[in-house]
Every structure is written in C-alpha cells, then in structure tokens.
Amino acid sequence: MGMVTDPESIFDSTKMQNIGGPKKPVLPRYYFPLIIGIVLAEAVALGFILFDIFPLSHSFEVYPFAQYSPYVNASDVTQLSVTITRWFFFLLTAGVLIPTTLIIIMEVTRRVLIARKGESNAWDDEFSWLDKLDKVPPVPADTTARVQGDYITRFDIHQRIQHYVLMGSFIVLAVTGLLRGFPDWPTFQWFTSIFGGTEVLRLVHDIAAFIMIADGIYHLGYIGYGYFVKHKSPSAMFPRWKDLKDIIHTALWIFGMYKHEPEYDHFQYGQKIDYWVIFWGMPVMVITGIIMMFPLFFSQWIPGEWFAVVATAHRDEAILATGFILIVHMYYGHLQSTAFPVNTVMFTGKMLKSKYRQWFGREYAQITREKEQE
C-alpha cells in the first residue's frame, strides 16, 4: 500500500522507501542479515521444542520437589493418560508453530527479493473476487479525538497497564517455569541456585501466576465496563470475513501475485490470533496451575493419574505459549520491517500517522479522511 508524503514522492511499504522521488531507505543495511539469523535461530529452537515434547522422546517424569508428586502413581492408566496428553499437545504445538514459522520464512524471503530486485508484475485485478468477503466497518464515534498532531492514539492507559502486567508476569513465569520444568539441565540448576533454590523459585512462580490471573480479571472487567456502562463493543477484535480476505491476500503477496500487502482495519488478523490464543492458553494454565499449587485439597476429587495429566498439560502448554511468543509475537510485533527495531505503541499508546498508515491503512483513511481529500 502506498503512502503520499509529498506531490513527487510516494512511500512504498513493501520496499520501505520512497518511489517517484529521492530515495530515502528506512531500514538499516544489517536488517535482513539480522532477521534471517533470528529466523534461522527460531527454526532451530522450534526443532528443540518439538523434540522435547515428542511423546516418544522420553517418558513422563515426576520430580521429588513437585508438590503433587506424592499423589502420582505409576499405573498403566497414568502412563496411557500422560501419553495421550503429550500427543495432543505435540500435535497442537506442531500444528501452530510449524506453519507460522514457515510463513515467516517465506515472508522474509519475499521482502529480501523485493529489496534486491524490486517489485515484479502482479495480477491484483484477477483477484477482485476477494472484495466479496469485504465489508467496511462503521467509523467509531471517537475517531476525531484520537488524532493529536502527528500522532494517533491507539491504546488508553488501562490497555497499556494490562499489557505491562501481562508482559512482566509472563516473562517471570516463562523463566521460572523453564527452570522448574528442566531441573536436570546443569545450566538451569545454576540459575535455580541464583534464585535461591527450588522453594524460592516455586514461590516466585506462584506469585507471578496470581498477578497474571489478576490481570486477566482486570481485562475482563475493563471489557465489561466498556460494554455495559460506556456502551462500547469490543467488536474490532472479533474475527470477520475481512480477516479471511487478508489471509488470502497475504498468501498471494508472498508468492508474488499481489504487489502490495493488505490494508487493515483496527487490528490485523495476526493480532487477533495473538489475542485469542490467550483465551485458550490462560484457562489451561490457570486450572492446571491451581491444581498443582494445592494438591492436597484437589486430591479429594482427582485420582493420581489426573495429577500426572495436569502436570503434563501445564508444562507442554507453557512450552507452546513461550514458543509462540518468541517466534510469532516477537517477529510480527517488533521485528517485521514496519515495526523494526521496536514497536513502542503499546508503551506510549500513540503511533505516528506515517506508521499508522502502513499498519492500518484502511482505518487510517477513515480517521483522517485523507483519501477523500486527495
């Protein structure tokens, strides 16, 4: 999609430079080597992730320091239950991370080719049938107030606080969870000793878990208040036919059949996937985590094999969540060419107009009415 910067120059986001006027490269020369290196490292990490959770790579282990360990038996039912659980999460993780990693690799390849050879001929008009999936959303009532000079407000203070807390608690949970999940690794044993041992590690992990739960409640309360009191529907985050159109459009762009990437509304389809993944992962992690925190209480209703299943589900879902954040969220949130070197909008709540047009071109046109004025 193009961005008008002056009468003689048009900004092309696929090339990350002005065309029709003086060239002003935006990306540093080291960008593509850096991104290629990161993507390759992520692909290797994905291989390790899948090997670790592969059901046949090793059997389920119960470590003595685990609070639930006295309740887990070694029966055949336990082994079968754990095996089924591990296969489920292995297939889920592979089904999520392998396609997204391949898409990232193809997208980076496409951007490298564009940067080296320029755009090739495309057949945009041949895919006009995609417009049948499209429906322009109504213009929000507060659009004018969101424009402040050279910036457009995107997130309010409550949304940013929720992100700060989620980000901080997730990092603590991921670090302490990995240390607890792989206690036999010598390097992790050393880091565990820095934390003060397994008991301190468990305490820090549990505190971070309750902070994340509180943040989730805060988020649901925020949505409820906005819907019932302020009469603002969170519909912008709901899946739409436009998202399917954008997915097809992106695939066609990756293979050179579209010259430009889609123009998005308030959220891109990838951001929606990122958001709704939490609504799958959070309940799984909270329910299994609470059971493992208070095994004596739950042992009244849960037999030993279920504690093994709960522990397996908690660990493998944590690996999936961490892998998704490191591979998918980090690339599209901060390493993609339009965001590099870091996307600050969730920290400041505001985005430059030029960036907003690159990321959310269709909503930008609705907010500023620029296309109508041109």
How does DSSP assign 78-102, residue by residue?
A: HHHHHHHHHHHHHHHHHHHHHHHHH
**What pLDDT band is residue 101 in, cutting at 50, 70 and 90?**
very high
CB-side neighbour CA atoms (13 Å) of 63: 13
pTM: 0.84
CB atoms within 10 A of CB 68: 22
Q: Within the chain, what is the greatest distance between any pair of CA atoms?
A: 75
Given a contact cutoff of 8 angstroms between Cβ atoms, the answer to whether 249 and 130 are in contact is yes
DSSP E strands, the chain: 2-6, 9-12, 17-19, 147-148, 151-153, 350-352
> Over the stretch 35-91, which tens digit does the pLDDT of each residue have?
999 999 989 989 988 988 898 876 667 777 778 888 887 787 888 888 899 999 999
- Nearest Cα to 71, choosing from 293, 339, 334, 349? 293
Please give the domain boundaries of the chain with CATH numbers for all domains.
33-373 (1.20.950.20)
- Nearest Cα to 358, choosing from 253, 262, 274? 262
- Across 240-249, average pLDDT: 90
pLDDT at 223: 95
The Cα–Cα gap between 36 and 253 comes to: 19
More confident residue, 187 or 364: 364
What is the three-class DSSP state of 19?
strand
**What pLDDT band is residue 18 in, cutting at 50, 70 and 90?**
very low
- Nearest Cα to 270, choosing from 356, 334, 365, 354? 334
What is the three-class DSSP state of 136?
coil
Map tokens 């609504």 to a residue: 279
Phi first, then psi: give them for residue 152, nearest 5 degrees.
-125, 125
More confident residue, 98 or 24: 98
**What pLDDT band is residue 325 in, cutting at 50, 70 and 90?**
very high
228: Cα separation from own chain's centroid = 28
User: What integer best gives the mean pLDDT of the chain?
Assistant: 84
CB atoms within 10 A of CB 152: 22
